[in-house]
Structure 1
Amino acid sequence: MELRQLNYFLKAKELLNFTEAAKALNISQSTLSQQIKQLEDELTIPLFNRIGKRITVTEAGYLFGEYALQCINKAHEGLLLLQDLKNLITGKITIGVIYSMRIPFAKTLIQFATYYPNIKIQVVFGTTKDLLERLNLHQFDFVLIFHEKSEEAHLNYQPLLSSNMVLVTAKKSSLAQRSTISLHEVAELPLALPFSGYSTIQFFEESFRRKNLDPNICMEINDIPTLFEIVKTGHWHTILSDISINDPDVVAIPIKGKNMRRTIMIVSLKEAYEKNAVKKFYEMLKN
């Protein structure tokens, strides 16, 4: 059963004349008759009584007509909905974001929501590992994560921005006036770091290991605001991406070394359909 067959049937039911119905539909009468006959064969019941050149609607035709009209109307509503989706009048996007991106991401989120208030947005913050796992389960339209060494073939990667890894210390700390600091010096400080599932801590564990350093990690915390509160006491320090720092009571000191710069990527599934709303969000992020 096809929508065009339902359209042909409804027009013939309206005009009670195959010739006039075919003319109104801009098709041949033979095409109209053939399509309606195929519909009747599929339904295994006549929809019209054929009396010479005249037709009348059977009881089955009257009953079926109500449902055929509903079907056509629903299909038309679906078409309008898709047009609205295409024109960013409706829809939903789901985004996974690493904690380091929360400040620049929030600015884009506000901008997007202001321009497209009818698009529903769901944002989930998490670690790179968790977000990638959920992306692979089709739970996100895209994720914002740090660049991973081993890129997977089924994923799209778009570079978004680069950030420097920095030591975060209290504004009142004796280190606060430093312009840079070495990884050796960082290893000797009492550190409160993001939890081990975070990409940042994994990155620095590898960096310390490459230089045979044994850092003084006093605590691991899976909440960035709490890390800031710990650092502001002046007793501990942390290591984060510079784009995640926006607290006036802490300072960020660049860590020396050519490998202390990382790239944030927009990652999505290659096989997944990319909504217009997602493309527009990409544009705003990149700008």
Structure 2
Amino acid sequence: MLLHKYSDIAFIGKTLFLDENNRKNRFRKMELRQLKYFLKAKELLNFTEAARALNISQSTLSQQIKQLEDELNVPLFNRIGKRITLTEAGDLFSGYALQSINKANEGLLLLQDLKNLNTGKIVIGVIYSMRILFAKTLIEFANQHPNIKIQVVFGTTKDLLEKLNLHQFDFILTFNEKANNAQLKYQTLLKSNMVLVTSKKSPLAQKINISLNEVAGLPLALPFGGYSTIHFIEESFRQKNLTPNICMEINDIPTLFELVKTGHWHTILSDTSVNDEAVVGIPIVGENMRRTIMIISLGEAYEKKAVAEFYKMLTNV
């Protein structure tokens, strides 16, 4: 592991007398522990006192420093009886050894900050239908963890899944009834009803629910193209052998709402999309009129603590 093995220590070789071909292989074996032992022996210039300060036996200390010298192929200490002094190589090497220890400690502090949600970044893809519920979680998370940078991309299910597979997101929120990609991890977030969105001034606004047969006869303005909603709607009508009266297809949800507000057109969306005082969502009757919104992530990817915390907040909302 990075914290136990200083794998990037090869730069230390600038001051040492090793040929280029052997140097890299030898340095990969070097341990931070050996560097700490070396620095303590350099500080005290006494193996017995250094071992006592490190709470190890003198034989262990001597063995580890000898192993370090063997790997570097150069003596770091002159041994004169019970006395030790630094060699020229040992003196030069000590500065780089100290840098290595300091860098490792900085890395530990950074990882600790990451673990405690004091730093980091998460990138999230969200379908437009989830923007209202998602915004609530986003605000709560940002208030509780102001040091975490958050990047949010809204898009269609198709676009978000493509970018997730390219490792551009930590996770996405989208409709996905068919969890069939073994490379992905699926977590059900909530079930969403499909509703007919109509103006509050429409005669339909008082209805408790509405059938798909009734919806087919209404002038509809629907989402366009890559939206999974339009594919779901088309399939629902097809299964009932219905031909809907689709007047317009628009790839912008706010524009659909503006059209619906006029009272001349209606649209079909998930109930999670409806949050406008000028319109109402009337549940569409039918067993297949409920959709599954999922949290989807890469199956083998490391799950950041910030991501796990965001999941928790999403499920609470």
Structure 1 length-normalised TM = 0.95
> Which residue type is aligned with residue 206 of structure 1?
E
Answering whether residue 202 of structure 2 is matched by residue 156 of structure 1, we say no
Deviation string, structure 1 residues 91-123 (Cα, Å, up to 9, x no partner)? 111111111110011001101111111111111
CA contact (8 A) 2:237 2:243 kept: yes
- Among residues 155, 171, 174, which one is paired with 1:145 in the alignment? 174
What is the rounded CA distance, in whole Å, between the counterparts of 2:34 and 2:249 in structure 1?
66
Give me the CA root mean square deviation: 1.4
In percent, how many aligned pairs have the same letter? 81
Name the structure 1 match of 2:296. Answer: 267
- Secondary structure of 2:137's counterpart equals helix
What is the rounded CA distance, in whole Å, between the counterparts of 1:208 and 1:229 in structure 2?
25
Name the structure 2 match of 1:91. Answer: 120
CA contact (8 A) 2:190 2:293 kept: yes
> Which residue type is aligned with residue 180 of structure 1?
N
Answering whether residue 49 of structure 2 is matched by residue 20 of structure 1, we say yes
After TM superposition, the structure 1 stretch with the greater mean CA deviation from structure 2, 215-224 or 89-98, is 215-224
What is the rounded CA distance, in whole Å, between the counterparts of 1:224 and 1:40 in structure 2?
68
Q: Which runs of 4+ in 1 moved over 3 A?
A: none
Deviation string, structure 1 residues 172-227 (Cα, Å, up to 9, x no partner)? 22322222221122222222111221111111111111112222222222221111
- Secondary structure of 1:175's counterpart equals helix
> Which residue type is aligned with residue 182 of structure 1?
S
Name the structure 2 match of 1:250. Answer: 279
Deviation string, structure 1 residues 31-56 (Cα, Å, up to 9, x no partner)? 22222222222222221111121111
What is the rounded CA distance, in whole Å, between the counterparts of 1:222 and 1:58 in structure 2?
73
Name the structure 2 match of 1:82. Answer: 111
Q: Give the Å deviation of 1:72.
A: 0.5
> Which residue type is aligned with residue 115 of structure 1?
Q
Name the structure 2 match of 1:171. Answer: 200
Structure 2 length-normalised TM = 0.87
Answering whether residue 158 of structure 2 is matched by residue 129 of structure 1, we say yes
Name the structure 2 match of 1:34. Answer: 63
- Among residues 81, 84, 90, which one is paired with 1:52 in the alignment? 81
Q: Could you tell me which runs of 5 or more consecutive residues in structure 1 were left unpaired when the two chains were aligned.
A: none
Deviation string, structure 1 residues 209-250 (Cα, Å, up to 9, x no partner)? 111222222222222111111221222211100111111111
Q: Give the Å deviation of 1:150.
A: 4.1
What is the rounded CA distance, in whole Å, between the counterparts of 2:89 and 2:178 in structure 1?
65
CA contact (8 A) 2:177 2:291 kept: no
